[in-house]
Amino acid sequence: MAETVLSTGIRYETLPENYVRPPSDRPRLSEVVSEHIPLIDLGRSDTLQIIHEIGKACESHGFFQKMARIAKEFFDMPLEEKMRFYSDDPSKKMRLSTSFNVKKEKVHNWRDYLRLHCYPLEEFVHEWPSPPSAFKDVVSTYCTEVRQLGFKLLELISESLGLERDYMEKVLGKQGQHMAINYYPPCPEPELTYGLPGHTDPNTITILLQDQHVAGLQVQRNGKWVAVDPHPNALVVNIGDQLQALSNGRYKSVWHRAVVNSNKERISIASFLCPANDAVIGPANPLTKEVSPAIYRNFTYDEYYKKFWSRNLDEEHCLELFRR
């Protein structure tokens, strides 16, 4: 089973054939541009200005280093220890896996990941890895703090759309939460493959803790790929597909990708806030008028999520399948 993951400790001299992208679908790293990515301090008192800027970035403090360390400890464990958690079944709520959907895709992505469901914590934490001995405590604390930050962001996003502050809370129901701890090992030929190809996230918002030292995240802006360089003590916030639908297309789900490095490993931790499975998602009524009719039909999040996981990551935007 060792060949099913990349985090074996073995350095590859050449890229295995099943990771090589066709020439038309390669990162073209020389064409990636660097732009200033704005930061938002959520501790400021001028709430209206925060609301105005909230979709672009956020800055926070606290528990980042512990979370990054425990993630590295997990992927540094002996292979036999890690493989106890391996599964290629996307429906499993706790699993170590690789690429994105190895059962369906033709070309794999240069990534391993540990996926955890995080809410309610008491339902899932007993299944989480141990060792590392501090894993459950550190990750539980991180999940709790990130969840509260996510709720604050959703309140501000609601207000920025001209909706009631608690609009998202009411529509999204008892929101689910899960996490992907991503590990990108050194790659012998990073120009031929991806850690993850360009995609949007199927959930509401994603709060990403980047590797503080190794770049890899890129976002699409004005038709170009832009590098999002690491910033100390900062989190990246991505708008997901559900917010694009709820805002009737006013806020766009962020196209992003991960590229890999030839001589350094990279770790990132993505936390996803998701609607309740039975939450009915569709454009908010106050945002649909005669001049801007609803773009998307109503759907449940369960319906959307199953459709998302039944496809390859690099197919057309899943939200296109839910247009009116």
Residue 248, both tokens: 């009737």
**In which residue are the tokens 């790659």 written?**
187
DSSP codes, 237-302: EEE-HHHHHHTTTSSPPPPEEE---SS--EEEEEEEEE--TTPEE---GGG-BTTB--SB--EEHH
Round to whole Å and give the CA distance between 288 and 295: 9
Structure-token pair, residue 254: 């962020």
Instruction: Tell me the domain boundaries of the chain.
Output: 27-322
Q: State the Cα–Cα distance between residues 224 and 192, nearest whole angstrom.
A: 18
Q: Residues 105, 313: contact at Cβ < 8 Å?
A: yes
- CA–CA gap between residue 296 and residue 131 (Å, rounded): 45
- Residue 208 parent element (H or E): strand 205-209
Angle of helix 135-160 versus helix 64-76 axis, rounded to 10: 130
Q: What is the pTM for the complete model shown? A: 0.88
Task: Look at the alpha carbons of 172, 240, 199, 110 in this order and tell me if their dihedral is positive or negative.
Answer: negative
The pair of structure tokens assigned to 169 is 């809370």
Q: What is the 3-state secondary structure (H, E, C) of 84-126?
A: HHECCCCCCCEEEEECCCCCCCCCCCCCEEEEEECCCHHHHHH
Distance CA 3, CA 187 (A): 16
The domain made up of 27-322 has a fold known as Jelly Rolls (2.60.120)
Main-chain phi, psi angles of 274, to 5 degrees: -130, 145
CB 98 within 8 A of CB 4: yes
* pLDDT by 10s per residue, the chain, length 324: 345 899 998 899 999 999 999 999 999 999 999 776 665 554 555 555 554 544 333 333 345 678 999 999 999 999 999 999 999 887 889 999 999 878 778 899 999 999 999 999 999 999 999 999 999 999 999 999 899 889 988 998 898 889 999 999 999 999 999 999 999 999 999 999 999 999 999 999 999 999 988 999 999 888 899 998 888 777 888 889 999 999 999 898 888 999 999 999 999 999 999 999 999 999 999 999 866 899 999 999 999 988 988 877 666 788 999 998
